[in-house]
Amino acid sequence: MKKSVFQYRLREFCRDSQAQVMVMRQPNQSVAALHTHDFIEVVLVLSGSAIHRVGSARHRLATGDAFVINRHYVHGYERPEGFNIANLMIRERFFRKTAAMFADLPGYHDLFTIGAASQGKALFESRTHLRDGEFQKARYWIEEIETEAARGRFGGHAMAESYLTLLVGLLSRNYHSSAASPAPMPTRMGRLLSWVEQNAARHVTVGEMCRVAAASERTLFRKFQEATGYSPLDYLIRIRLRNACRLLENRNLDLTCEEIALRCGFENGNYFARQFKRHLGCSPSAWPTSRFIAF
């Protein structure tokens, strides 16, 4: 019989439903058996080293390493030596905001789109390493997140989210600037996702995607599916729909469905309306402005 894996739940650590993030420090982290959690976890190694096990893969961690573990992924730590870490336990809905903020930053997709959904070797390649000033800045922001999250009311949650946004931006920029050359596939896919975000409003071909990713069409489709859970075309449509929702929710704009369709990269209003209905379950004109779509 297959042994079950223990799952940590955010509500066991944080009962405040308004809190988007909670910091848990693990000084002298001991061996941690394989486990999962129902939240997204950003981990910064403050000092020491250990072996990080993700599924059947094992990789060494050292001071300054940072990585992302998605919900329900199995991981644990072995052979810790003075291993001190800061765990940021984050609700998934927080990343709906940052996905829009950092859409054009390849490193964001490397860590928080691809890295968060990766396992084994792909996860190891999608980590980043902070040095000197960047490491100290990250440590300071984590301390501020911890302080503000504990305050909660009177702006505490908002401040904690602001510092967390800064941290996400720092990690994303650091990954992009330190990426190896020639770039590994996770990095190339991150650059492709950023390119798709920036070019979604125009006609995009699979051939262009292949050139950006430096991959054959067959490899592109396989790696894209692994990284995002969607085909390149489906992902492009979802990005266009997300952008269309923002226009629909902007009360200061007075645009027809045809105008919104053309602005977002759809060939005409009819095709836009069909895709909208298919993916979101209603017509563009019926889209509720209070609803937030997660893409």
Model pLDDT for residues 25-35, shown as the tens digit of each residue = 999 999 999 99
What percent of the chain stands above pLDDT 90?
55
Shared domain for 158 and 88, answered yes or no, is yes
At residue 35, φ and ψ (nearest 5 deg) are -155, 170
Shared domain for 27 and 138, answered yes or no, is yes
Residue-level pLDDT at 181 = 46
Task: Examine residue 191 and state whether it is found in any structural domain, yes or no.
Answer: no
Shared domain for 172 and 249, answered yes or no, is no
What percent of the chain stands above pLDDT 70?
88
Residues 150, 156 contacting (CB under 8 angstroms): yes
Task: Examine residue 142 and state whether it is found in any structural domain, yes or no.
Answer: yes
The answer to whether the peptide bond before residue 106 is cis (omega within 30 degrees of 0) is no
**Whole domain around residue 81: which residue ranges?**
6-93+132-178
In sequence order, which residues have a C-beta less than 8 Å from that of residue 175 and are 6 or more positions away? 107, 110, 111, 126, 128, 190
Q: What CATH number has the domain bearing residue 262?
A: 1.10.10.60
Can you tell me the distance from the alpha carbon of 159 to that of 241, in angstroms, rounded to the nearest whole number?
A: 30
Shared domain for 68 and 150, answered yes or no, is yes
Shared domain for 264 and 156, answered yes or no, is no
Residue-level pLDDT at 290 = 46
Least confident of 106-120, 162-176, 249-263: 106-120
Residue-level pLDDT at 254 = 86
Residue-level pLDDT at 189 = 84
∠ Cα 58 60 62 (to 5°): 155
Shared domain for 148 and 280, answered yes or no, is no
Q: What CATH number has the domain bearing residue 15?
A: 2.60.120.280
Q: Which one, of 21, 68, 46, lies nearest residue 162 by Cα?
A: 21
Residue-level pLDDT at 112 = 83
∠ Cα 258 264 265 (to 5°): 90
Task: Examine residue 183 and state whether it is found in any structural domain, yes or no.
Answer: no
Task: Examine residue 38 and state whether it is found in any structural domain, yes or no.
Answer: yes
∠ Cα 159 96 207 (to 5°): 135
